[in-house]
Chain A
Amino acid sequence: MAQAAEMRNWMSRKGTVLEAELGSITGDQVILIPKDGKEQKLKVEDLSLADRQYLVEFGGADASVITSGAPGFPEKEVHIDAASIKKLPGKMHLGEGSASLAFELVQSPHFLVATAGKIRGQDTADTAERLWHGMAFQHMNFRKDWGDKRMLILLVDDRKIYKALGEWYVAFRIKEGDPDGAQRAKTVWDKTGSTEIMVPEDSIKEHNLFPSAILFNITETASFTKVLGPFPTHTISGALLSKQMAGVSSFGAEGYFAIVTGHAFFKEISLAKKTETTLLDVSGTGNDEISSKAGFKDGTSWAKTLRPLVHKGKVKVELDAMLKWTRADLTPERLVLIFSFVYYMESDAKRLCAFAKMIRRIESSNQIPPAEEIAKIFGFDTVAAFEADWKKFITDGEFK
């Protein structure tokens, strides 16, 4: 049927993007009409959650199309075209003159991976693209907000270069009138496995980058020479979610730590099947993390350990209290509870949809909703009802 609908990009679970207008929706099928007029019939379930949201808001589809089917792992199902990840001929330079540091470049549709040392950027670019797809699949505004820019990821496994980069960065922050940033970098530089750094203006312009980048200090290359390695998955997932939340105000930050950290661990453990991340506790360090296998157990036993503790009441499933925790308050049990919180929120299509709604709310309101609002977003009248459902999730076997 002829429709007065708009041409837009539709995305499938596998990452295929089709520019088409909405023809019609019947039951679990949708007809899309691309420019060439050749109608395409697709299963609603294979469309991204973001597209299904559009079907409800503009196509008059029943809200159930959003929550039908299992959420699955779009990060694993997406087909990444190897040809879309290219080595660039030129190099990126940070710093000036003889102290200038040169980085090899690998470019993918949404990232620029700059490397120094023996490490290669292809696998990390592939990982990042998968995680990007996962976000675009679930969060309506993600693609639009991202626009045509790239996010810079720096991989450094050469000790000398890493040290020199630290010296450059401290000087760069001072020059930019950011002595706090310089001090912070100094404190964590050698201890951190990944940190967020600001990109100089000329590199931003030259490569059309976002102003902040992820820097990996690589001591062990194993996670960076495969796709969806645990530590990069953790860090990049956290960075992408933070970017989508677009910052919170000083008085609206309570709960930010739990959501970002829980999400990063959830993605790491569900996609890489284990964790190799421990959190570095230096007050006010933001998103810095150290990579160490010696910290917490590797994630495969988290659910098993938490379940009896919750069952016996040794760990209390309390939302309001948990939202107040910061890095300094963490114990292994608390960290695993935070993990279970985000795991719960992302565990099925209906909850994932509420999670996406919550992230949308944070993006516009610049504040983490308080406990009673989170409960409401998830369809509960009271915080107690939310907690009961979350607790049931932990103890009744869904949490694995």
Chain B
Amino acid sequence: MTLKLSPALALAALFVSPALAQTVPDKDYRDFKGSTGKVIQAVLLDKTDTEAVLLQRDGKRATVPLDHLSAEDQAYVKDWSKEKAVFVQKCRGLAIRQLLELRGYESFEFRLSNNSIFIDGKLNGKPARFLVDTGAGTSLLHAPFATSVGLTVGPMDEKIYGVSGEAPAGWTPVPTIQLGEAVFKDRRILATDLLKDKPPGTKSREDVILGAEFMNKLDAVISYQDRRIFLRPDRSDETDIKSGKGDEGMAFRLFKTKEGKTLRGKVVSKTPTSATIELVDGKKNPYFIDSFVKEDEAYLRAWSEAGAFFLQYCQSLTINELLTLRKYQSFQFERRGNHIFVEGSLNDNKVTYMIDTGADSSLLHLSAAKKYGCTVGPMNQEVWGIGGKAPAGVTNIAKVTMGDAVLTNRKVLATDMVRKGEPDNLDYVGLFGADFMRELDAVITYTETRIFLIQR
């Protein structure tokens, strides 16, 4: 490969021939001849049995049916393997974070408490702790907290359901919910007393349960390995940041200044103390590097022309392509309402699991556990949730699989997950919880509707 050895060398090369910076090293490109004889210079990114995905010199992608290519090119595509492709391999070390930040996602480092995911946000302008829960079909407010930040909780004449029963809840008008740059306005969210049915002495961990409807809306990506959740602020009701046009506008990064301003743009050059950022509207402005918040300051200090030049090409990878390179396997998940479901197996029986980041431990539905050959102990345990506690039994699972990932000899709890008085016709066997997902370094993407897993 001919990319620069060090930033110093790269800079020298730029002075000699600025044009060079606009070209990908020739070795990575190839002339593809169409059946009409037209030549395009491109890098092969991916292929199927019938098509090739090409990245052209101008950065645009093209999916070309194989039979539109010359015989020689067809043979090249046939022999090509993604594993060996030099260009793509170089993107392998890219963190999901780098990939998504390059596309205008805002990233949040999350805290794990036990296995639950927490991020900080604002409810009605006041700091609040948000629990990220893909298993919660709708978001919920902790009623006493909602009141404490000046919201009016409506009459408690609604019902919400959890694994252990039901609880009263009241519609609450919420002027603003803010997660970083994403702002939602004038929503109505149910509020309930999250501590009411918990064991005495329990302290509240969360002020807001952030349910799946927001994850859907914000194209969330959750990565246990990075311990980050990524959201697209431009998908919210309002954001101060200019968003540019379509997906092209997303090829810009967010920068936050210490004064609380947010810019969307990309770095075009820098000196030791300042960086010139091209904003989404095409204007170029210089900024002092130390005027940005810590993370962005670090990004700017680490920024190099050679690195940026390179990243520009990695950027077009999807999370799927990136993680496939890292030998992750992935599954398209099925959305039913706001919930997500994935096929797997339980003791060698084909079953469906609900993906639930809000479940610290995986949980089986009692009758399913018995039906699929798990040993269920006496119902002398308890599971706690909305509506209080429910009896549960320690259950030995011989084998759970999802794709090639195999988990053996696990103990989980099993409880009756069907609502009182309703027939037992659950079409999934239980919750695939955060315990399994952490072990398998899961990545959940709402954009690509996939879950990625890797067995270490």
- What is the interface of chain A, defined by CB distance below 8 A to chain B? 1-7, 21-22, 33, 35, 37, 39, 57-60, 144-145, 177-178, 246-247, 249-252, 357, 360-361, 363-367, 369-370, 372-373, 376
Contacts and interface: CB of A to CB of B under 8 A. Distances in A.
Contact of B114 (A7, A252, A366, A370): A366
Given A177-B201, A251-B381, A373 B93 contact: no
Contacts of B201: 177-178
A376 B411 contact: no
A4 B307 contact: yes
Interface stretch (B73-81, B234-242, B273-281, B298-306): B298-306
Contact of B227 (A5, A35, A144, A360): A144
B90 A246 contact: no
A1 B93 contact: no
Contacts of B439: 360-361, 364-365
B302 A7 contact: yes
B404 to A, nearest CB: 16
B394 A251 contact: yes
A246 B360 CA distance: 13
Contacts of B89: 60
A363 B314 CA distance: 34
Contacts of B6: 33, 37, 39
Given A177-B201, A246-B114, A7 B7 contact: no
Contact of A4 (B91, B227, B409): B91
Contacts of A57: 326, 456
Contacts of A247: 114
B114 A35 contact: no
B39 interface: no
Contacts of A4: 90-91, 93-94, 98, 307, 310-311, 314
Interface in B284-335: 298, 301-302, 304, 306-307, 310-311, 314, 326
B411 A367 contact: yes
A56 B92 CA distance: 12
A6 B93 contact: yes
A361 B307 CA distance: 36
Contacts of B411: 251-252, 367
A372 B114 contact: no
Contacts of B304: 37
Contact of A1 (B3, B112, B314, B438): B3
A366 B361 contact: yes
A-B pairs with lowest CB-CB distance, top 5: A5-B93, A364-B438, A2-B3, A6-B95, A4-B94
Contacts of B306: 2
A282 B186 CA distance: 57
Contacts of B114: 246-247, 366
Nearest to A251: B394
A1 B5 contact: yes
Contacts of B436: 364
A58 B409 contact: no
9 contacts: A2-B307, A4-B310, A57-B326, A60-B92, A251-B411, A252-B411, A361-B439, A365-B361, A365-B439
Nearest to B1: A1
A3 B93 contact: yes
B5 A58 contact: no
B408 interface: yes
B198 interface: no
Contacts of B98: 4, 6
B4 interface: yes
Interface in B1-30: 1, 3-8, 10
B213 interface: no
Nearest to A368: B411
Contacts of A35: 301-302
Nearest to B377: A251
B97 interface: yes
Given A4-B307, A365-B435, 20 more contacts: A1-B1, A1-B90, A2-B310, A3-B93, A6-B94, A6-B95, A21-B93, A35-B301, A37-B8, A59-B93, A144-B227, A177-B200, A178-B201, A246-B114, A251-B411, A357-B456, A366-B115, A367-B411, A369-B409, A373-B409
Nearest to A34: B302
A376 B406 CA distance: 12
Interface centre among A37, A60, A247 (most CB of B within 10 A): A37
